[in-house]
Amino acid sequence: MAIKDEQQPLHILFFPFLAPGHLIPIADMAALFAARGVKCTILTTPVNAQAIRSAVDRANDASHSTEDALAIDIAVVPFPDVGLPPGVESGPALNSMDDREKFFHGVRLLREPFDRFLAENRPDAVVSDSFFEWAAAAAAEHGVPRMVFLGSSLFSRTCIDSMLRYNPVEAAPEDPDALVLLPGLPHRVELRRSQMKEPKKQPEDWAFLQRVNAADQRSYGEVFNSFHELERDSLEHYTTTLGRRAWLVGPVVLASKDAATRGAGNGPSPDTDGCQQWLDTKPEGSVVYVSFGTLSHFLPPELRELARGLDMSGKNFVWVIGGGADTEESEWMPDRFAELMARGDRGFIIRGWAPQMLILTHPAVGGFVTHCGWNSTLEAVSAGVPMVTWPRCADQFYNEKLVVELLKVGVGVGSMDYASKLETRRVIGGEVIAEAIGRVMGDNEYAEAIQEKAKALGEKARRAVAKGGSSYDDVGRLVDELMARRSSVNV
């Protein structure tokens, strides 16, 4: 390996998976490291570069006024030609199994530009997505330490490890309502069978997870968008029992200088200015914010029940209608709800990209109906907002457990079916949704305890990223270690 001048800044290559839930936190994370004098490059494809361009530009603008900070680069490479229409190169754009297969083929072909970058630039380390399991071997060939990033909670990582190690679903009764215990964890974690991935039904996905997990274990360690005070027991389990190395550097959203346009590739929805003004007219804590990330899809009967639930809750609401926005309103919107919307005082609908962090931190917002994607969950934690949890797939059922049972900052709607946006699930009734919102945002002792816990967690989150906080220190620890490694490699 070429000898590097020790005065040269550390160079980290960030290589996120091609989906907003992976890209957005990586752009924020690069901003964190760049602010500490690390040269950061993000390697991605054109559409994905566009999604993080404003976050990177704003971080770079801010770096001019900070002594140690360096600018972040985006290295753009074309998405391989695998027969997908131009511009289809990110998770939310995939609407069929055929597209999904082509997309994953294209993703595997990204190994070539990744190799080329490592050979030409010789960074000190890479932070590559866990889903790029081939990146472990590629980085090893170039003698570059590979850090893993998945964008999950530590809690869900330990649950997935238990699943892969013991496969408790296979041993459980066939009944979808059967309770399945995840063995070997510091906390009792039990899910209904219907809430879990079925290894036998999706053998290819299961084999992929096994490969990814094996590659992660061969890697240098893992960087988490989380903080010590949030998941101490899972961290202890991950590092001591499972023997993995972890740096917790989040919540990375608190490093973002781009609350208004963060993640909005084609700009935020035109509704957002109106939304801010509408929120300004509402009393503190009176509005429930409803959004399900970038990959969830709601069928008309689900949209109908959600609309009924929001109406019945009696609360003000901001509802981001993403997946399913293509569905005609006449197919799902109840007449009563249409009348309520026409009055304009109770609810505000955003179609398109919402400035999520601006909304969550608005004083009027007192609750968040979420699918428990880890970014959304941590953003609610950072904003001190309690959650109504409605997991759909991926790691979301684990995150719900963490939020509701361990942290006690949320109430579930009773989501029972693990199903991706290409699969169907049972519909949850409006009455149940309204009740869950009431339990989080009510004026009773139970709701107030949840609200106070959420506020306290928000304060801990902010302390973790401030100078001297646990996440601030983990960034420093990692930078120092990689710098020391450079010296030892050079000897």
Minimum CB separation of residue 393 from ligand UDP in Å reads 9
- Is 263 one of the binding residues for ligand UDP (CB under 6 A)? yes
Neighbouring CB atoms inside 10 A of 125's CB total 25
User: Which H or E run includes 368?
Assistant: strand 365-370
| Active-site residue, selected from the candidate residues 22, 297, 362, 371 | 22
Among candidate residues 227, 222, 256, the one with its CA nearest the CA of residue 30: 256
443 is catalytic: no
* Nearest residue (CB) to ligand UDP, 219 versus 376: 376
Find the binder of ligand UDP among 130, 153, 234, 375 (CB under 6 A).
375
Could you check whether the bond before residue 113 is cis, i.e. omega within 30 degrees of 0? Answer: no
Partners of 411 in beta bridges: 388
Dihedral class, residue 450 (left if φ above 0, else alpha if ψ from -120 to 50, else beta) = alpha
CA 478 to chain centre: 22
Find the binder of ligand UDP among 278, 337, 374, 418 (CB under 6 A).
374
Find the binder of ligand UDP among 126, 320, 478, 479 (CB under 6 A).
320
- Is 20 one of the binding residues for ligand UDP (CB under 6 A)? yes
Minimum CB separation of residue 355 from ligand UDP in Å reads 6
- Is 80 one of the binding residues for ligand UDP (CB under 6 A)? no
Strand arrangement of the beta sheet that strand 39-44 belongs to: 72-76, 39-44, 11-15, 125-129, 146-149, 221-224, 246-248
Among candidate residues 49, 240, 216, the one with its CA nearest the CA of residue 129: 216
Residues 156-215, interacting with ligand UDP (CB under 6 A): none
Q: What angle do CA 465, 466, 470 make, to 5 degrees?
A: 55
Place of tokens 């519909």: 427
Residues 334-373, interacting with ligand UDP (CB under 6 A): 353-354, 356, 373
- Is 293 one of the binding residues for ligand UDP (CB under 6 A)? yes
Minimum CB separation of residue 258 from ligand UDP in Å reads 10
480 is catalytic: no
Q: Identify which range of 36-44, 292-300, 382-390, 428-436 contacts ligand UDP by CB under 6 A.
A: 292-300
| Active-site residue, selected from the candidate residues 73, 124, 129, 161 | 129
Instruction: Please report, as ranges, the residues that interact with ligand UDP according to CB under 6 A.
Output: 20-21, 24, 262-263, 291, 293-295, 320, 353-354, 356, 373-376, 379
The residues assigned a catalytic role are 22, 129
